Amino acid sequence: MLYEIRTYTFKPQRAAEWIALYKNEGLPIQQEYLGELIGFFTTEIGNLSEVVHIWGYQGLDDRIERRDRMAADSRWREFGRKVKALDIFLKMESRIVRPTDFSPLK
């Protein structure tokens, strides 16, 4: 199993706009295609303009196939247009991590 950790950094006091749009429009599409949402977080202490979400995949090929299918969906492209129009992102990062043999998540 591999995990993708995505971190979005927003312009100050703008994360809530994206979270509302994402919850209603983006999340249902991602759950349909990506499947295993491990967690979704906002920062309580530290950089308050960040959102982190984690998705689980069987491997890199699984991730590529799922994300390619999602990218081809017109609903996802429309969601992307709405997000772009908000002009609220400062930075987007993605990391792929693999659990150790003693990790609670395998």
- With 90 as the cut, is the pLDDT of residue 27 above it? yes
Q: Average model confidence (pLDDT) for the chain? A: 96
Per-residue pLDDT, 90: 96
Task: Classify 46 in phi/psi space as left (phi over 0), alpha (psi -120 to 50) or beta.
Answer: left
- With 90 as the cut, is the pLDDT of residue 35 above it? no
Per-residue pLDDT, 77: 98
Dump the DSSP string for 40-92: EEE-SSS-TTEEEEEEEESSHHHHHHHHHHHHT-HHHHHHHHHHHHH--EEEE
- Write out pLDDT tens, residues 63-106: 999 999 999 999 999 999 999 999 999 999 999 999 999 999 98
pTM of the model: 0.90
- Write out pLDDT tens, residues 38-54: 999 999 999 889 999 99
Domains of the chain: 2-97 (3.30.70.100)
Segment 13-20 shows an average pLDDT of: 95
Helix axes 60-71, 74-86, angle to 10 degrees: 80
Per-residue pLDDT, 106: 87
Dump the DSSP string for 14-35: -HHHHHHHIIIIIHHHHHHHT-
